[in-house]
Structure 1
């Protein structure tokens, strides 16, 4: 029991019925998941909207393809470099203040991209977006460990992370409409894009200051007994999931470079390569199936994998929580994604190729939501903030490398087949490595 837990916290987790335990977790989920989902939609939208802006921005600013691509590279360099210090800051100042500040900062940086006049100013602005956005995803993943017992973590992660396929699915239509405002009030369409998609993050940042609570003990929307039940479940998991005492004595750095944390980094690197490929290349991959399709048709077809992904993420996360099994719920969707890339590479039929992309997208995103239930179980409490940020940073090296590798392979072979093979091999390697990840056999408080 923590020092701030009220006197009524003498009640034990075991003394509560399973219905009461579920009711508290559902109450937390209703309070937090929808709100964090909206925040992540805004975050991911501000990350990927430059791709849509590039349809007209490149010509207006006189940018070459290489210069425009470098803007994304610089974003990810800044994103990778700043994730770890950002999570350290969150652990020290609290999620409410830090996440709120990040949203205001990246919203302003993204909005200010409308003032870009050449390649150098675009590079600077995208670096600022990368710096300010870097701490959001690892920060929220850390924040969720303060609120959701492991038995509920997979479904919580899935409901939060469907923001990525959801945003990818609807942003093309939204951004297309905004680009149609070209010339209104003297602004280019891409300038309207950064303005209208950046400012909502600023506004939501101020809402975060008033809406989020750092810990269950501070949540006035939970009564004392609910706070006690939730905190005891989390404390029990923290005690059972600590890193070995001998390793803790060797210090934080030793724990972070331990073999199991390096293994998490490698698995996530393999997984993120496919996530990046889905995010960046899906429209062009779909277009390669039938080059005569209109851009509107390609947009609709490219949304199909995202719809499939949302459904599987929710179902798979719920099933993992109900069975309290993690390892095979991580490995199997990774193998599904690998099979999807292989099907796409070997088939010459457009429908089968699209099915392969659906398998790759659904499998990789479902695996990601399960993956993030595991690292905190292998880290001491003091190392959790840095450890999650380290794993996220190493994995996102894949986000920076994938566009370069796939682009090079496409230029070399004049097609996506070799890129599909590259992604499939990495997913198979990642799945085999995932079999060796430490996973908890049983969670405190079984999910129904």
Structure 2
């Protein structure tokens, strides 16, 4: 590629990043509005008779779930997280995202996440970013390599925008999607992420995603370091179990083939309505609850109940196939496990800070489920601004990743990618679909 062509390509990366930041920023803006409306609805529902109030909540939650699932009919690959399709497109197993995916993810995601389903916003923003990058590349008639690079850079930008985490978004591109770092991929990604996060932070503000009040933690001594080591191993066991739960519920949903998807989504909408009405704090992606756990110590009985409900509720929502991701719910689950672990060791003579283990648990659980430890550490450091916990996060995430690998646990997005029909067919033909894809040395 000539110098002039390279400059032109980088300029387009900047433009794609700006577009991804604007779309992702306003997607979150409307999600905040939807969350506020849901809380207002819940408050009103408790001010009137039970049947009138719960009936209204039930109607809204079921309608949002059904409509969200119906929209997926217009773009089947927009169901669920969508990150597995981004990875498959990079491997040239499926075609890159079309523009209609952006529309389905945007409006479907607002309905499903806004109604209180336990789903993450990162799946929609990553796939919307990929859709933007691929669409721009098609319009400008870019080469196949340029289209791949622009698509993947925009997808990483989507993650950075979702969590106000530019470093996490960039590293996600290298560590999780491409599983390689090359300068011809680094520069487009960094340009794209810079532009996208600048725009989204202009729309949403510069504050970290989790508003941690006390970000100063005591440097861990020998006793605390031992606890973090044990904690990393513990999370390395729990992560694969959580992945199993997601896959079991997906298989259960697929088993009932004769039931139309909208009906199945509506049934889960009833479960969502029960939580929204009786325990509104447990509904939704979990950002607010995660922030509270990073700031306050909860009674252990409360934490156990929350953990038990969320362990099943989040995978149940994901299994419906509506637009929505996995990151936010699994980060909350990691925080819950951190509280439980710290409380347990405190019973036998330790003096551990549950909030510190909550933050470390988020990064370690990310490492054990998604098998991207560096991304997990960067993501949580940027989301919490708890830089004092850098060392505990490093050892916790490393051991969680190592333990998950020792248990031969498949990363959740690899497991989801292997469920894609085109990938299944390639596997049946003897193609090694687990082999990391080659990155072109040069853009042509």
TM-score by length of structure 2 reads: 0.34
Which structure has greater helix proportion?
1
TM-score by length of 1: 0.33
